[in-house]
Amino acid sequence: MGQNRIELVEVGPRDGFQNLKEYISMEDKLHYIDGLIGAGVKHIQITSFVSPKAIPQMKDARELAGHCAAMYPDVDLFSLVPNLYGAKAAWECGLKKTSYVISLSESHNEANINRTREQSLEELGRIREELPDLTILSDIATAFACPFEGIMMLDGLLELMGKIYGLGVREFVLCDTIGMAHPAQVREYVRAAMKEFPDCRFQVHIHDTRNMGIVNTLAAIECGVQGVQSTLGGLGGCPFAPGASGNTSTEDLVYMLNRMGYETGIEFERLLALAKEEHSAIPGAYSGHHINIGAQACGMNV
Ligand code: COA
Ligand code: ZN
């Protein structure tokens, strides 16, 4: 991969929608997924296979994933799962890849998925055994900081990653679940992780809670991660992490990276139109600053 290429990974249909209380119809969800693909987005986390009691918004996961897998065979579609039950469901729907979430912080893992980290690791072992052909991205939630335990230590992160690596996983997503990281911490943790696991691929997933989503994401890109996650319109948040708010917004990121000369393959104007539509059509959609960026006023198309 050349220096100016970066995989932009849209997680809005999962991390964005999961935080909205009012149910968004499957038809509307498909409309956004279709719009993203139309704008050139090639990597999309379309849903999560989780308990509908935990996240009612994702109750249509099977139907939606089955539809998308059949409809967009050339797009890199994946989901998020917390356990074997979810991984089996994702696989049965035709998804070849899924994120499997474990929190670095013990207390967040228990709040999020009602399991200890040890239990989550054992479950990952079972998934690898039962579904050896399913590609697993390891989402490390609270990799930088936790709403209950504060700043997380780098050695703890590397230790947990080592256990996951030992189970055969070769792609990691370092998640700043509550947007507490800063660029120096991102650089330190990402560089150390890449050095420790040189045969792995890396992504970051950064929330914009303290307006540092874009600088933190850029810090990770400049360290050489292969992919960065974001959400259309900056939607998002973890219902089990108090204070978590939206993600880095995809349109901000695309605007910046296209102008910096990165090959994103995404048409900014189409993406912006979709973000504006989402912003006005979806109840509770995050009303951040993202829609008012200068490019819109200038009508620039870069
Ligand atoms: N998808 C759908 N249903 C699931 C499921 C999955 N992946 N895993 C378990 N269930 C169902 C079980 O079948 C059971 O159903 P029943 O009550 O009808 O018998 C019920 O959920 C409880 O199962 P159990 O294994 O006891 O789970 P739990 O209550 O301990 O909850 C999780 C554990 C992981 C299922 C739940 O905490 C969860 O889904 N968390 C996801 C949180 C999330 O998405 N956070 C944001 C993304 S990081
Ligand atoms: Zn998130």
- What is the chain's pLDDT, residue by residue, as a tens digit (302 residues)? 446 899 999 999 999 999 888 999 999 999 999 999 999 999 999 999 999 999 999 999 999 999 999 999 999 999 999 999 999 999 999 999 999 999 999 999 999 999 999 999 999 999 999 999 999 999 999 999 999 999 999 999 999 999 999 999 999 999 999 999 999 999 999 999 999 999 999 999 999 999 999 999 999 999 999 999 999 999 987 788 777 778 999 999 999 999 999 999 999 999 999 999 988 888 766 544 444 343 333 333 33
CB 279 within 8 Å of CB 21: no
CB 85 near ligand 1, within 6 Å: yes
- 73 C-beta neighbours (distance < 10 Å), count: 9
Quote the CA–CA distance of 119 and 276 in Å, as a whole number.
Answer: 42
The crossing angle, in degrees rounded to 10, of helices 106-113 and 117-130 is 60
Nearest CA to ligand 1 atom 43: 112
Of 215, 165, 211, 225, nearest to 185 by C-alpha is 215
CB 234 near ligand 1, within 6 Å: no
Give me the phi and psi of 172, to 5 degrees please.
-120, 145
Distance 217 CA to ligand 1 centre (A): 31
User: Which ligand is in closest contact with the Cα of 207?
Assistant: 2
Is 238 noted as a catalytic residue in this protein?
yes
Distance 80 CA to ligand 2 centre (A): 11
CB 158 near ligand 1, within 6 Å: no
Where b means 16+ CB within 10 Å and e means fewer, 258-279 reads: beeebebebbbebbbebbeebb
Distance 50 CA to ligand 1 centre (A): 5
- 198 C-beta neighbours (distance < 10 Å), count: 6
Quote the CA–CA distance of 84 and 122 in Å, as a whole number.
Answer: 10
**Strand, helix or coil at 181?**
coil
Give me the phi and psi of 88, to 5 degrees please.
-65, -45
CB 55 near ligand 1, within 6 Å: yes
Give the Cα-Cα-Cα angle 91, 135, 159 (nearest 5 degrees).
Answer: 130
Quote the CA–CA distance of 208 and 228 in Å, as a whole number.
Answer: 13
Give the Cα-Cα-Cα angle 295, 297, 302 (nearest 5 degrees).
Answer: 30
- Single pTM value for the model: 0.94
